[in-house]
Amino acid sequence: MASGGMHVHPPTPAPYPGDPNQRRRQGRSPGLVSASFVRLFVAGSAFLGYGLAVDEAADVGSATEALSQLASLLTGVVYLGLLCYPLLTGGRRAEPASSWLRGALAVLLILVSVTFLTMMEGDLSETWSLYEHAITPLVVLLDWTFVGRGQTRAAWWHPLTWTLPPLAYLVYYVSQDLTFYGSFLDPESDDFAMTVAGFLVGVVVTGYALYAVGKLRGQILSPEPQSATPPGPYGQQPPPSYGPGYAPQQPAQPYAPQPAPYQQPGQPVPQPQRPHPPQQPAYGPQAGYQPGPYQGPHPAQPGGPPPAAPHQQPQRWGGF
């Protein structure tokens, strides 16, 4: 307690410099704002491309059945849900724990863009084509690479399952007898099976490339904690400070007896001699008293009993 009755609180210790939770708390709000902005842009771009394609198409039915338009519509719906996800969870989570949908959409949009620009010899002169085949795939790829943390937890088998959306559309394409891609995707052609196999291999390779990008982002976001203090004797990093009344506990060291300075290897150890106990005087409390030669009975002491008479033999008289 300080003067004047004011309480003085101890200073709050600084956080450990390698604490990942502290970095996460410090960067949560800016990261959420930037992620929300990117996902709003993705949703707007996807819906805009889909709307322009349907508006300019002569046949609305054919425009809504093509893979480019279906991929843009699905991307807009998914990213609108990602934008609203923090509100649905009360701010407890910024995004779902799994990034399967984001990875599947990124692979699907890359497939659509590359196929349209190469095998179909398409161009980006139309606004709807620019959004569906360039802007939306590019922004989704940037979102996977630089935004969020879900892609860092992608499982190794996710790229194999990202082939399911293209396969589902292929089943729909064949069952409805569609002819949008008849120049290279004709079920009655002899090369149909090889073409489908080539598409699946390309999807898997693209998926594992995105998987590697996600793991690299995880390494960048969560590096090994580094301490400002030098390492200890065995490479250990001690915490920078301890609270009042606490101290680091050192591990117990095993006992190893040390040889005495005078002990030589191969020689017996001399045993210390025990001191003899002190001897008590043999005659009374006077220490060092030695009795002299016998000199007869002692004279009578004053006030004591008379000395005993010497023993005499009785005399014998004649006649008795």
* Local mean pLDDT, 10-residue blocks, the chain (320 residues): 52 51 48 92 97 85 86 97 92 90 97 94 94 97 94 96 96 91 88 94 97 94 59 52 56 60 60 64 53 56 57 50
Residue 210: inside a domain:
yes
pLDDT of amino acid 25: 44
Give the DSSP per-residue string, 249-280: PPPPPPP-PPPPTT--TTSPPPPPPPPPPPPP
Beta carbons within 8 Å of 82's beta carbon, 6+ residues apart? 39, 95, 96, 102
Q: How far is CA 292 from the centre of its chain?
A: 96
Q: Is residue 178 part of a domain?
A: yes
pLDDT of 90 reads 86
Whether 252 is in a domain gets the answer no
Domain extent, residue 158, equals 28-221
Q: Rounded to whole angstroms, how far apart are CA atoms 105 and 76?
A: 10
CA 3 to chain centre: 46
What per-residue confidence (pLDDT) applies to 319? 43
Alpha-helical segments (H) within 8-149: 20-26, 28-56, 60-65, 67-88, 100-117, 127-130, 136-146
SS3 116: helix
Q: What angle do CA 172, 177, 179 make, to 5 degrees?
A: 100
Q: How many domains does the chain have?
A: 1
**Region for 296 from its dihedrals, namely left if φ exceeds 0, alpha if ψ lies in -120 to 50, beta otherwise:** left
pLDDT for the residue 60 = 73
CA–CA gap between residue 193 and residue 199 (Å, rounded): 10
Per residue in 133-143, pLDDT (tens digit) is: 999 999 999 99
Asked if 214 and 143 count as a contact pair (C-beta separation under 8 A), the reply is: no
Does 315 reside within a domain? Answer: no
Interatomic CA distance for residues 133 and 305, integer angstroms: 145
268 occurs within a structural domain: no
Q: What does the block give as tokens for 26?
A: 């410090």
- Position 126 in a domain: yes
Structure confidence at residue 56 (pLDDT)? 87
Residue 278 lies in a domain: no
Residues with Cβ within 8 Å of 280's Cβ and at least 6 positions away in sequence, in order, are none
* Distance (Å, whole) CA 15 – CA 239: 10
Could you tell me the two tokens for 255?
């006992």
| Calpha distance 129→132 (Å, rounded) | 5
Could you tell me if residue 48 is inside a domain?
Answer: yes
What single-letter amino acid sits at 137? P
Tell me how far CA of residue 124 lies from CA of 53, 134, 166, in angstroms.
12, 8, 23
